[in-house]
Structure 1
Amino acid sequence: MLRRPASAPLVWDLPTRLGHWLLVLLVTGSLVTGQLAGSWIEWHGYSGLGIIWLLSFRLAWGVLGSTYARFLQFFPSPARLRLFFRGQWYGLGHSPLAALSVLALLAVLLVQAGAGLFSADDTGFAGPLRALASAAWAERLSGWHRLSANAVYGVIALHVAAIAWYRYRGKSLTAAMIDGYAREGDGESACGGGVSVFLLACALASMLTYAASGLWIVPEPVVATPAW
């Protein structure tokens, strides 16, 4: 880990850092349990709901959170991308290229987790919202869920490659995501995103996850077949 300057600004707040590492754990667990299948498939569903909670929280935090966690602050506009590729972009937080990677990862995981809610396969697993989809749509979404796993692997590979490249260039992205402080660059520390905003983002994420869990769906009554 590169040494942090005494005057380094705080870039990544605690919720952003915790959410990042929890997402790493849950995505890893989801990919592994999906491959193992069998008795592990139930845990695959649990990790999927956990991912939905984290994605929902990140979307809310990207609007309500602290300075460098907000999407508007790091959105990779064409102008910012041009400056970056010309070597003229300077700033704290995500670079325009890193921002593209972050948004791509969020989009792929949203498709992957969202499709999994309605999917069903021959292992006996059925997503929590399977009852809301027709058989044709369930089959289609199951296919999307399987195919998008390849996109998840691809985005993760690009993310790891970017981290390795920056490390090779003498920069540590991982260190900043551990303690929150930038290793280089000048600017103001992150502000905003207090406790009340954090609790609001948690509440919004919890409501969306409850909706995704299907616990609110009333099962259809089972009609007994007459014995005669």
Structure 2
Amino acid sequence: MTQQPVTQEHKPVWDIFVRLFHWSLAASILFAWWSGEQGGNWMEWHMYAGYSVLALVLFRLMWGFAGSHYARFSEFVRSPIHTLKYGLQLTKRQDAHYIGHNPLGGWMVLMLLLLSAAQAGTGLFANDEIFTEGPLAHLVSSSMSVEITRWHKTIFDGLLIAIGLHLAGVIAHQVFKGEKLVQSMLHGRKPAGIHEDSHAFAPFWLGLILAAIAAAVIWGIVNLL
């Protein structure tokens, strides 16, 4: 935690994999919702979007341990007490400046990852009892598949709430605090004190390997189980 620096320069914070993950997850969830609402032949694409969500979340979990400095969970997941103190400071406009995710943002990242994984994961076992069933529905009983389908729909409501809170937080920081969070997730740079340490991004080849592993794992689960 550091105080807002007086003299700043823009430094690289979000590597290309964090940025691609962020926008790809948003697009996949949006398309999954839209295709699910259309039904019919679009349900096949709905499932593909779900597989993409699972692969993206798996990659982000691995990148959270092996990726660049600001992408790592150890850098932005703080204790509940620390996060509560930050929240109280925020209400008084005395909150400290964080180059990466702030404490509330860090916990929001975890919540979105968990809900996205649960939403897409339950979809693997879902069954609409009419036209479409998930690729792993055969591993559970018909009644259990129907019950999991209910969870699938309920979890999505929770995911929508979490997304709404996330967007509200981004808008608050963007509009009222003047932090260009959206732009930084496009070009990867954020303002930081000139004396703040710079951290090199993790190797590009490492990101490619982890992305390939994530895709291969989800492909194997969907096609081989």
TM category, shorter: 0.7 to 0.9
Matches within 5 A, 1:18-97: 18-85=20-87, 86=89, 87-97=94-104
Q: Determine the structure 1 residue equivalent to 2:210.
A: 201
Q: Determine the structure 2 residue equivalent to 1:145.
A: 152
Q: Determine the structure 1 residue equivalent to 2:188.
A: 180
Q: Distance in 1 between matches of 2:95 and 2:172?
A: 19
- List gaps (5 residues or longer) in structure 2: 1-6
Q: Distance in 2 between matches of 1:157 and 1:114?
A: 21
Q: Distance in 2 between matches of 1:174 and 1:184?
A: 16
User: In the comparison of the two structures, how many residue pairs are matched?
Assistant: 212
Q: Determine the structure 2 residue equivalent to 1:191.
A: 200
Q: What is the RMSD of the two structures over their aligned residues, measured on CA atoms?
A: 1.8
Structure whose alpha-carbon radius of gyration is higher: 1
Q: Determine the structure 2 residue equivalent to 1:111.
A: 118
Conserved 8 A contact 1:83-1:89: no
Question: Does the residue aligned with 1:7 lie in a helix, a strand or coil?
Answer: strand
Question: Does the residue aligned with 2:200 lie in a helix, a strand or coil?
Answer: coil
Which moved further from structure 2: 82-91 or 106-115? 82-91
Higher strand share: 2
Deviation at 1:74, TM superposition (A): 0.4
Q: Deviations over 1:40-82 (max 9, x none)?
A: 1111011111111111111111111000000111013124314
Q: Distance in 2 between matches of 1:185 and 1:128?
A: 50
Q: Deviations over 1:119-175 (max 9, x none)?
A: 111341111111111223212211110111111211111111111111222221101
Q: Deviations over 1:171-196 (max 9, x none)?
A: 21101101001135562333242133
Q: Determine the structure 1 residue equivalent to 2:170.
A: 163
Identity %: 31
Deviation at 1:207, TM superposition (A): 2.6
- List gaps (5 residues or longer) in structure 1: 218-228
Question: Does the residue aligned with 2:123 lie in a helix, a strand or coil?
Answer: helix
